[in-house]
Amino acid sequence: MNLTFFTSEAGKNSPRSYFLPKGILYDSIKKNGNCHELWYNERMKYPKIDLKEVRQQARQFQNEYPKLLIVFLLPSLLLILSSFIRPLSLLNEKVFEQSFLSFLGALFQSTLFPIALGFTSSIILTGALFTTLNLLRDPDVELSLKNTLSILKSEFFTQTFLTLLLKRFYLFLWSIPSWMGIYYLFYSSIMARKFVELHPEFPNVDLTNLDTERFLLTFALYFFGSILLMVLGNVLYIPQYYAYSQVELLLGDTLGIGLPKPSQILKTSRFLMKGYKFQRFVLDLQLLPWYFLIWLSFGIASISIYPYVYSSQIFFYKTLLHLKRRKA
């Protein structure tokens, strides 16, 4: 990293000095006795997005077009349906005693319906975003279920299906370490339960016993290894999730004017989100109370909340486009 060296006006012999990394805007003032104001006004490489303004725009947009409820109605209904499905409860305990690949196969079978439902929901959601983005361009666009379902037209559907499928595949690959952690966590819990069944005197067991010592070491390896894998998996997965977070919006914004390749849509999403993943994460944190309300109501609250949440994401996307174009 390139560094610029500054010293205080107290004199060149002053021990106080500042190393300010280039590329970061320092708008704070450092004061110390006779020190003068220090400004570092180099243009930021990634200007911040005013998230408060984004949410205000979304609220105003929602109030201006109350019929957005109709546009996002189908994604809301699919979310309500999915909230009553517990795919992991269908897994047999013996699955965790098999290999990790066997576990993935059983997991896929038990979650096949939720996966299909979630994928269908993402396609319908893209249709809702397509309609909303068209509304921003043309205020006379009709807000109806018919327009939301226009994404299912043959000229749009194939492109949407392949792009979202590719996104899901990439995200699945990035989630494998987390799933390995979950697998080994359940496996270690099964080990512990069987050990307790074989040793009714637990926890008053003889720790000097060789078999007990071997079990504790093995259990610790699996348990702490699973925690490490889940933490590492999330550290790897979350940035990738946000890197591809603009895919549906890019689809909705480009389907009416052209048909870019699925891989190009994903690359463009990564390009847009470079330097802005954390801000997009912060936006989700600010919307967290609304997400919690949706979860608490088994998805029912999404009928009124989805227009605001996705309008916020749309205005974040629009601001992002503006910043990237200005930079170019």
**Pick from 48-52, 69-73, 110-114: least confident:** 110-114
CB atoms within 10 A of CB 238: 13
CA distances from 310 to 1, 9, 37, 63, 191 (A): 37, 51, 42, 14, 44
pLDDT tens profile 183-229: 888 888 888 877 777 766 666 666 677 777 788 888 888 899 999 99
Per-residue pLDDT at 233? 94
Do residues 246 and 284 lie in contact, with contact meaning Cβ atoms separated by under 8 Å?
A: no
Quote the pLDDT of residue 152: 87
The answer on pLDDT for 162 being more than 90 is: yes
What digits encode the pLDDT tens for the residues 219-264? 888 899 999 999 999 999 999 999 999 999 999 888 877 677 899 9
pLDDT at 30 > cutoff 70: no
Look at the block and give the residue holding tokens 């396609």: 123
User: What number is the average pLDDT over the span 151-161?
Assistant: 86
**16 pLDDT above the threshold of 70:** no
Distance of CA 30 to the CA centre of its chain: 37
Whether the per-residue pLDDT at 110 is higher than 60: the answer is: yes
